[in-house]
A and B are shown apart, each in its own frame.
Chain A
Amino acid sequence: MTRESDRDELASGYVLGTLSAAQRREVEAQLLQDAELRARVQALEAQLLPLTRLAEPVEPSPSLWPRIQASLNFAGNSLRQGWSWWTSLGLWRGLTAGGFATAAVLAFVLLTQQPADTRFVVVLAAPQDQSPGWVVQASTNRQLKLIPLQALEVPADKSLQFWTKLDSWSGPKSLGLVKPGQALNVALDQLPPLEANQLFEITLEPYNGSPLNRPTGPVLHIGRAVKVM
């Protein structure tokens, strides 16, 4: 049983923020089952809340809300109940750090954590540093969803264009224009059904897209479809 003075000290340290990471984890675990401790923490939080006004407001960058929204859409309503791996800070930090290993881990996590109806997954990574920029999910081989993992800055006179190519095709086919930081649903009406190893890429094109029936600008992100077992 935790003594009263211990409870007070834990609650104070937790709310003020002076505890170590390990102590914070212990308190968070204890909070789940110790109603007394919970009451103390809540009382102190309420008393000290006005102190949050001592921090000057900071305007968030315009890309932050789209990023939150993308994470929500990505998580999907069916997963609303549980905590989702892709919303964790660690993953985001890993993604911005880049590296092919991250892309591989992401692909693995996608494969093992996806809703059962996901048939194909593609991680689109930057060719230079392999940092992942987009994920494609397909629950049928006629319909896919492109989901942003980062908000790209695109010059006002440029557009992002989404392409796919099968090895047997002579060149890529356009799947349409993409807005940075926004998810896109694509129906493969005019194209053959999705196949494993199918290539997907996002290129930087003139405003409103490539003037030709093929990409003309640099590849920003590229990846191949993996079939979910």
Chain B
Amino acid sequence: MPPNAPTGFDHAAALAAIARGSESELQRLYQHEARFLLGVAMRIVRDRALAEDVLHDAFIAIWHKADSYDASKGEARGWIYAIVRHKALNLVRSSLRLVPADEEVIEAIEAEHAVASLADAFAIEADLGRLQGCLERLDTAKRNSILYAYVDGCTHGEIAQRLQSPLGTVKAWIKRGLASLKECMS
């Protein structure tokens, strides 16, 4: 079983049934994936109500677009996660992002990330398969930059702030880090 498929749920078969108009299959997909997808959206939009809006819109999109899923272009589970991530990213990149106005929240974030460029910001406890080894080969700053962007939905500017490093340096870390990852994975 691929490391990223935690159970035997057949995402491609679910999408095929949804494309034929099966609402019960959509519900089965929801029951199987909603908590993981909501977790992904939450990390990016950082607000429960907004994350649930993202999931709502994502499931409506899955319903409408299931018939456009093409198995030759990648696995079905990835197609579903990409819809959720891009909806979440589009939301936070639009001007609607709710900035936490609460000073305590901001201070907590700053304290948490004060030494982030030196230490690992992410405890990688999940099994990431081959990607894991490749990530571990990156130096900490590159790894943190990539994970802040992908998992937390940070902009270059936000990453620079969290890692207390210049913007240009962060951009270079991400570019070189991704290049190493791609090479390692291929």
Residues of A within 8 A of B (CB): 9, 12, 15-21, 24, 38, 42, 44-61, 64-65, 67-69, 71-72, 75, 77, 80-84, 87-89, 92-93, 96
Contact = CB atoms under 8 A, between A and B. Distances in A.
B39 A56 contact: yes
B21 interface: yes
A204 B93 CA distance: 40
Interface string B41-67: 011100011011111110111011000
Contact of A16 (B60, B63, B129, B174): B174
Contact of B42 (A21, A55, A72, A96): A55
A46 B35 CA distance: 21
A53 B126 contact: yes
Interface size class of B (residues with CB under 8 A): 35 or more
B43 A64 contact: no
A89 B132 CA distance: 35
B172 to A, nearest CB: 12
Interface of B: 3-4, 21, 23, 26-27, 30, 34-36, 38-40, 42-44, 48-49, 51-57, 59-61, 63-64, 73-75, 77-78, 81-82, 85-87, 89-91, 93-96, 122, 124, 126-129, 131-132, 146-147, 149-151, 153-156, 159, 174-175, 178, 181-182, 185
Contacts of B4: 49-50, 53
A82 B67 CA distance: 12
A218 to B, nearest CB: 25
A12 to B, nearest CB: 5
A60 B44 contact: no
A171 B146 CA distance: 64
A47 B75 CA distance: 11
19 contacts: A16-B178, A17-B150, A18-B159, A21-B93, A24-B90, A42-B74, A46-B78, A50-B4, A50-B129, A51-B150, A52-B151, A54-B147, A55-B151, A58-B51, A65-B27, A65-B34, A82-B64, A83-B64, A84-B64
